[in-house]
Amino acid sequence: MKLYEYLGKELFDRYGIAVPAGRVIENAGQAAEAAAELGEVVIKSQVLTGKRGKAGGIAFASSPDEAKKEAERIFKMELGGFTADKLLVEKKVQIEQEIYLAITVDGTAQRPVVLVSLDGGMDVEDVPEERMIRWPVDVTVGMQGFMVREICRKLGVKGSLQKEFLKLLPKLYKLFREMDAELAEINPLALTPDGLVAADAKVTIDDDALYRHPQLPRIKEKTALELRAEELDLAYVELDGDIAVMANGAGITMATLDMVQHYGGSPANFLDFGGGADVEKTSQALELLLGTNPRVLLINIFGGITRCDVVAEAFARVRESKGINLPVSFRLVGTNEAEGRVILEKVGIKSFTSMDEAVSHAVDLLGA
Amino acid sequence: MKLYEYLGKELFDRYGIAVPAGRVIENAGQAAEAAAELGEVVIKSQVLTGKRGKAGGIAFASSPDEAKKEAERIFKMELGGFTADKLLVEKKVQIEQEIYLAITVDGTAQRPVVLVSLDGGMDVEDVPEERMIRWPVDVTVGMQGFMVREICRKLGVKGSLQKEFLKLLPKLYKLFREMDAELAEINPLALTPDGLVAADAKVTIDDDALYRHPQLPRIKEKTALELRAEELDLAYVELDGDIAVMANGAGITMATLDMVQHYGGSPANFLDFGGGADVEKTSQALELLLGTNPRVLLINIFGGITRCDVVAEAFARVRESKGINLPVSFRLVGTNEAEGRVILEKVGIKSFTSMDEAVSHAVDLLGA
Amino acid sequence: MSIYINDKTRVLVQGITGNQGSFHTGQMLAYGTKIIGGVSPGKGGQSVEGVPVYDTVFEAVDKEPADASILFIPAPFARDAALEALAAGIKILVLIPEHIPLQDAIDIMAHARQNDAVVVGPNTFGLVTSGACKIGIMPNQYFVPGPVGVVSRSGTLCYEIVGHLTESGVGTTTVVGLGGDRVVGLHFVDVLKEFEKDPETKAIVLVGEIGGSAEEEAAAFIKSSMTKPVIAYLAGKSAPPGKRMGHAGAIIERGRGTFESKVEALTAAKVKVADLPTNVPDLVKEVIGGK
Amino acid sequence: MSIYINDKTRVLVQGITGNQGSFHTGQMLAYGTKIIGGVSPGKGGQSVEGVPVYDTVFEAVDKEPADASILFIPAPFARDAALEALAAGIKILVLIPEHIPLQDAIDIMAHARQNDAVVVGPNTFGLVTSGACKIGIMPNQYFVPGPVGVVSRSGTLCYEIVGHLTESGVGTTTVVGLGGDRVVGLHFVDVLKEFEKDPETKAIVLVGEIGGSAEEEAAAFIKSSMTKPVIAYLAGKSAPPGKRMGHAGAIIERGRGTFESKVEALTAAKVKVADLPTNVPDLVKEVIGGK
């Protein structure tokens, strides 16, 4: 779960990481009040899209009037498909140097990894690889002073800036571990006359660990379908094609989409309804898919934990209760395959045993 | 540094370990007030000696009057050479079972070790070895649920008591590590109708880590000499003989005492003034020793980091400023030995090169 | 003969009394796996499918030493159970659960490294040495002995491909599921090293997907150190960037982990990459036929 | 030829620019120790006694690989410096400082175990292989080559005894100071194991003291596994219980760690225990003469 900048900064503050003085506002009038209090300010749209700045979602203002006008403008903007409910109004900081600092996970090393570059402020993709210091942290040792000193040496950082890093890095690491972050990024980390200040905050919390953080708000910047899929605990991604795809298992679902494309079709979505779902859950997944009004429905089941009869039963039930008025291509093999096939035949669906045949049939149905 | 029971219980409370409701009092009147509030109470002298209970430093009272009387009595008592400034008045808990629980350090395993026995309440020395479960904790793993479950299995503990242990042990371990404890002992740990309650608290903080705990009060239950030695950062132990001993190094100081005894003498103290002390510090150590009015002074120097000339210089200085009016046996070898010997000869002291000779001479001086 | 596990491997089942645990204990026993005990705190003394149940892993291995343990433990408790197995000296850990918090997975891997233990998963179907020992949840019938080693990031897709192999008469030595999470114990390189050393494995099928850099690392290793032929299939050619495709690890982030990058790296290492899962058996037959 | 260290051992000095660090660097160089670098954060680029100074251990070992490191670091910073040395791959750590917090020592030992590193100390004079390599603060002149291995919990007392040996013409192979703290890296048993394997060591002198159980464990090991003769001297015969005698570890607590218990255990293992430090050389000559 990605956190809005202001929530990330609240976490920073709680862990003792300096952030600019600021206010979260919900209407343009508050922007003027905040500017009156803070002086020269920066106003930032609280949306999750990464390209906020380039799209005009960030503005500077040197008077309450200007702040109000900019806030009005930003409140109306759509960024990444969403308009902001909140803006962050912050005192403009005096930046001497922009630094990139992040902690994320290095899957190969199976460790948290600290990333630091003195080329901050730009998109991280644009930082030259050789200018980025990477330090994987052994969690049984934790973030120690010596690691920070070695990172600083590699960066060529000494003196008071090194001292700032010695204070800051253990705090960010503590936040990363305790808050179950996948990413804790500060870009830019601003060197100001008062020391290092986090001028931005990009914190992503591990969805699988959210239950440990009941105090965090649940961010709902998603489409209605995505929210519904989340409720049903389905792995669902909207795509822009016309063949709805449902399969069991992430890899085989991806492979099904690839095959649809291979045969000249275009998938409408990714839907992995997982292993071992019961009739109820499978029905709900089907209903969600049908609600997207696809032109063809492709179901690809290789039953392991998933039982073919359960999927067929769910299909028959939804067909009866809601009606399924579009062409269907069904592939069914594995656990309780025969029972499943019988159920499908009763509702007039002939199923395939080959994935290739089912997918090419689905593409053919589109042309029909 | 051993903590008074009430300070240990304050720590327990801070770490979420249940302790009986109670008040720390400084006069007998407050005991009556506390009893009026708490009902049936136990009144406990806040001294560091282990045998408080047997010596009468703990009493029960079922009325404010009785509490006042008992408090008056206990305030007057001397326990282990000290009278208590404070008493702890606690609500009497309903004990179903007494358990022994401690975390200390296992030097062989180089790890914290959890000790648990269902034979609580008695002196730990009296708990049969086979009834005591010992679990060394790998600090890189920490105290995990599985360890508690395994300890419980070995104890034969199940159900709700196991659940209590699952909550309690990680808290005590956290306290032990974070507070730099050498020992965190609860004896008895009382099983009450409300769960486990720490009926006593014996917590010792590592002297070498006290600087990390400025909020802890410094306990001064020591003799004036011991306090002075602590100020001077000397390793000093009072003994009951008449030959004052000063040497450099813990092992050789012990060996010197042993040799004094071997030759029929009796040492007045252990004083290791450490390695590399300067003239000032060495003089202060000498002055401290002379203040104990010994009958003979024995100085045993094997100079390594310690320089013989520095020790001789300190001796000469103290002799001049304060006077040294008792027989002295001086052994001096090692770094700058010749220079040291010259300094001593100037003040009329003949020094030995052999430790045996110096010690037997000291014992002879006693007889003289 | 096989990698990691064989017909001598003694297996413990953690979480044996749950639905999944008891069902798959039955399935594994049916496959021939030597299960020496199960663990379920508070259920010690019971038995599941004839397997004795203990309260703790220490108690279990005290009764009967175990080489491997498979965990059917709800994600929030998996870390504790995994650390218990490691502390009790288990050297192969198979973590079935999905949704184990990332930081917990990091902890498990750190302690496994300290204990020189191998972790398969989390979010894996496990591993199986065909005809000898299955420690996982894959359907029994597809895994028959033969000359091909298989290593996969995903489950059902792996069954699909092994199914095609089996149908076309090609069996497997060991099949290893790496798991779909961002942090997993084994990576392609680890398993490829073992297959390279295993005399019975004549060719390897690698089933990868978008996200991460495990395939690229595999390609580098194959190029530098492997003599045996490797065939690959990669899922996610049509996946858009920035979207998590079911697996936590299957995401193209910041231009990394793309399908193209992986195909390029593997092709440069002379790995044949199949267009469709169906094409894998023919490519395998080409290379093992040529041996 | 010797244990732990020899004339090839490459040594780093952490805290080289401090008073103690620079003084003892000179002394160690004078003894013949191969010092390849020093570390003092912020002082990189300087040199001490001709030894180059680096900012971090990583930088130092990057320039010149090191086998061992000796720490002259104030106690509050010793943990960080020790963990740095371990992370940088140093396998022998000599911790000179006293007053290192107990929990810090526990941490250092835990990570040393993970890295298969040997820790000498804390609160030790170090170790010396006579005539070849000194990593410590002991006075140079007493340590001359010979057939006796020495292992001691205390410093000055060890010099006293080695001094008596040297005076009576008996030199030493390696002399190891275990350190006086409650938690130290090496115990008697570890060092005895090495001496037993070292062909040049003909007899061992063990200098123990009250407190802890290291002497009792040594006795059990000697009884079960040693062929070479061991002579012991123990300090603290006259020490009262419950009082810390200078060393954090030198305390008789709850009836454990008494002089009597140690003498009894050692005597049962056929170790001759000298009454006085002065008597050690005669006992040693008895056993090496008889060889």
The catalytic position among A182, A185, A221, A313 is A185
Residue B133: strand, helix, or coil: strand
In this prediction, residue B288 carries a pLDDT of 94
- 3-state DSSP assignment of residue A19: coil
Question: What is the pTM assigned to this prediction?
Answer: 0.94
pLDDT for residue D248: 86
What's the gap in Å between the CA of B159 and the closest CA on chain C?
8
C-alpha span between B190 and B94 (Å, rounded):
8
Distance, in Å, from the CA atom of B178 to the CA atom of B354, rounded to the nearest integer, reads: 47
Q: Please compute the mean of the pLDDT values over residues B123-138 and round it to a whole number.
A: 90
Asked if A356 has any chain C CB less than 8 Å from its own CB, the reply is yes
Torsional sign, CA B263, B268, B270, B272? negative
Report the pLDDT averaged over residues D231-249: 93
Task: Kindly identify which residue of chain C lies nearest to residue B140, measuring between CA atoms.
Answer: C111
Nearest to C58 among B138, B140, B150 (CB): B150
CB B80 within 8 A of CB B54: no
Three-state DSSP string of B293-304: CCCEEEEEEEEC
Mean pLDDT confidence for D256-271: 96
Residue D160 with chain B: CB contacts under 8 Å: 252, 255, 302, 355
Which residues in C lie closer than 8 A to residue B138 (C-beta atoms)? 87
Long-range contacts formed by A38-42: CB under 8 A, 24+ apart: A38/A89, A38/A90, A38/A91, A39/A91, A39/A92, A40/A91, A40/A92, A41/A67, A41/A89, A41/A90, A41/A91, A41/A92, A42/A89, A42/A90, A42/A92
CB C96 within 8 A of CB C137: yes
**Does any CB of chain A come closer than 8 Å to the CB of residue C202?**
no
Q: What is the pLDDT of residues B63-80, one digit of tens each?
A: 999 999 999 999 999 988
For residue A43, the Cα-to-chain-centroid distance in whole angstroms is: 24
> Which 3 state secondary structure label does DSSP give C176?
strand
Q: C274 vs D254, which has greater pLDDT?
A: C274
Helix (H) or strand (E) holding B279: helix B279-290
Average pLDDT of every residue of chain B: 94
User: Which residues does residue B197 pair with via DSSP β-bridges, in sequence order?
Assistant: B190
What is the residue type of B151? I
**For residue D291, pLDDT beyond 70:** no
When CB atoms are compared, the residue of A140, A335, A354 closest to C139 is A335
Q: Say which DSSP state B4 is in.
A: P
- Unique residue bearing structure tokens 């080559």: D145
Per-residue model confidence as pLDDT tens digits over B314-338 = 999 999 998 888 999 999 998 899 9
Element holding A314 (H helix, E strand): helix A308-321
Mean pLDDT of all residues in C51-59: 98
Task: Check if D111 contacts A (Cβ < 8 Å).
Answer: yes
CB of D89 within 8 Å of a chain A CB? The answer is no
> How many A/D residue pairs have CB atoms within 8 Å?
31
Kindly report whether the peptide bond that precedes residue B188 is cis, defined as omega within 30 degrees of 0: yes
Radius of gyration of chain B (CA): 26
| Residue ranges in chain A modelled with pLDDT below 70 | 368
Comparing alpha-carbon positions, the chain B residue that sits nearest to C81 is: B146
| Nearest-CA distance A209 → chain C (Å) | 5
- H or E, element range at D70: strand D68-71
CB nearest C80 (choices: B138, B140, B145): B145
* Integer Cα distance of B260 and B363 in angstroms: 7
Q: What is the mean pLDDT of chain C?
A: 96
Single-letter amino acid code for the residue at A189: L
Identify from D20, D138, D152, D157 which residue to disrupt to test chain B contact, counting B C-beta atoms within 10 A and taking the largest count. Answer: D157
Contact at 8 Å (CB) between D31 and D140?
yes
Contacts of B138 in chain A (CB under 8 A): none
* DSSP annotation of C7: T
Contact C111 A140 (CB under 8 A): yes
| Cα gap A340→A355, rounded to integer Å | 16
| Spatial contact of B146 and C57, defined as CB atoms under 8 Å apart | yes
In terms of Cα–Cα distance, which of D183, D274, D276, D176 is closest to D229? D274
Cβ of B82 under 8 Å from any chain D Cβ?
no
CA–CA distance, B143 with C83 (Å, rounded to integer): 11
Residue D248 to residues B115, B232, D100, D123, D202, Cα–Cα distance (Å) = 21, 17, 11, 10, 32
pLDDT tier at C1 (50, 70, 90 boundaries)? low
Q: How far is the C-alpha of B61 from the C-alpha of B64, rounded, in Å?
A: 8
- Catalytic positions of D: 247
Minimal-distance CA residue of chain A relative to D84:
A146
Q: Best mutation site among A137, A138, A139, A140 for testing chain B: the one with the most B CBs within 10 Å?
A: A140
Q: CB within 8 A of D106, min separation 6: which ones?
A: B105, B110, B111, B112, B139, D183
The complex's ipTM? 0.93
Q: Does D39 touch chain B (CB under 8 A)?
A: no
Cβ(B113)–Cβ(B135) below 8 Å: yes
Residue of A nearest to D86 (CA): A141
Q: Which residue is catalytic, options C24, C164, C187, C247?
A: C247
Cβ pair C102:A250 closer than 8 A: no
CA pair distance B209, B198, nearest whole angstrom = 25
Q: Quick one: closest CA in A to C167, which residue?
A: A354
Please indicate whether, in this complex, the C-beta atoms of B262 and D250 are within 8 angstroms of each other.
Answer: no
Is the CB of A254 less than 8 angstroms away from the CB of C243? no
pLDDT range class, residue B51, cuts 50, 70, 90: confident
| Amino acid code (one letter) for C274 | A
Tell me whether residues C87 and B153 touch, CB distance under 8 A: no
Residues 6+ apart with CB under 8 A from D115: D86, D87, D89, D91
Tell me which long-range contacts A131-139 makes (C-beta under 8 A, separation of at least 24): A132/A100, A134/A106, A136/A106, A136/A109, A136/A111, A136/A112, A137/A111, A137/A112, A137/A113, A137/A173, A138/A111, A138/C110, A138/D87, A139/A111, A139/A112, A139/A177, A139/C106, A139/C107, A139/C110
User: Nearest C-alpha of chain A: how many angstroms from D26?
Assistant: 26
Subunits with 3+ C-beta pairs closer than 8 A to B: A, C, D
Identify the band that residue B81 occupies on the pLDDT scale cut at 50, 70 and 90: confident
Average pLDDT over residues B231-257: 94
Portion of chain B with pLDDT greater than 90, in percent: 85
CB B193 within 8 A of CB B96: yes
Distance from C-alpha of C116 to C-alpha of B311, rounded to nearest angstrom = 54
Instruction: Name residue, tokens 């396998």.
Output: D91
Nearest of A289, A367, A296 to residue A327 by alpha carbon: A296
pLDDT tens-digit readout, D30-77: 999 999 999 999 999 999 999 999 999 999 999 999 999 999 999 999
CA distance B147 to chain A (A): 18
Q: How far is B16 from chain C (nearest CA, A)?
A: 22
A36–chain C nearest CA distance, Å: 39
Decide if A146 and D59 are in contact by the 8 Å CB cutoff: no
Q: Pairing between strand A351-352 and C203-209?
A: unpaired
The chain C residue lying nearest B149, using CA atoms, is C56
Contact flag A304-C107 (C-beta cutoff 8 Å): no
In A232-261, the residues whose Cβ lies within 8 Å of chain C are 235, 237, 239, 247-255, 257-261
**pLDDT, position B149:** 97
The alpha helices in chain C, defined as continuous H runs, are 19-31, 57-63, 75-87, 102-114, 156-167, 188-197, 214-225, 259-268, 280-289
Please, is A166 exposed, middle or buried when counting C-beta atoms within 10 Å of its C-beta (0-12, 13-18, 19+)? middle
Could you tell me which chain A residue has the CA closest to the CA of B141? A140
Compare all CA atoms of chain B with the CA of A141 and give the residue at the minimum distance: B140
* Chain D nearest-CA residue for B307: D139
pLDDT tens track for B275-314: 778 999 999 999 999 999 999 999 999 988 889 999 999 9
Q: Which of A274-288, C230-244, D136-150 has the lowest mean pLDDT?
A: A274-288
- Listed residue (D179, D192, D241) closest to D221, CA to CA: D192
With an 8 Å Cβ cutoff, is D84 touching chain A?
A: yes
Hey, are the CB atoms on C137 and A304 less than 8 Å from each other?
yes
Residues of C in contact with B147 (CB under 8 A): 87
> Which pLDDT belongs to residue C290?
45
**Taking phi first (over 0 means left), then psi (-120 to 50 degrees means alpha), and beta for anything else, what does residue A7 get?**
alpha
Contacts of C81 in chain B (CB under 8 A): 146
CB pairs under 8 A between A and C: 163
Q: Average pLDDT in the B173-182 region?
A: 98
The three-class DSSP label of residue C277 is helix
Out of B138, B140, B146, closest to residue C84 by CB = B146
User: Which of C42, C81, C83 has its CB closest to that of B141?
Assistant: C83
Residues in A closer than 8 angstroms to D41, CB to CB, are 149
pLDDT for res D290: 45
* Known catalytic residue at A185: yes
| Measured distance CA(A178)–CA(C220) in Å, rounded | 35
Length reported for chain C = 291
Residue D227 has pLDDT above 80, yes or no: yes
Asked if C114 and B145 come within 8 Å (Cβ–Cβ), the reply is: no
- The Cα of B231 is separated from the nearest Cα of chain D by a number of Å equal to 15
Contact between A268 and A294 (Cβ < 8 Å) = yes
Identify all chain A residues contacting B141, using CB atoms and an 8 Å cutoff. 140
Residue B125 burial (CB count, 10 A): 8
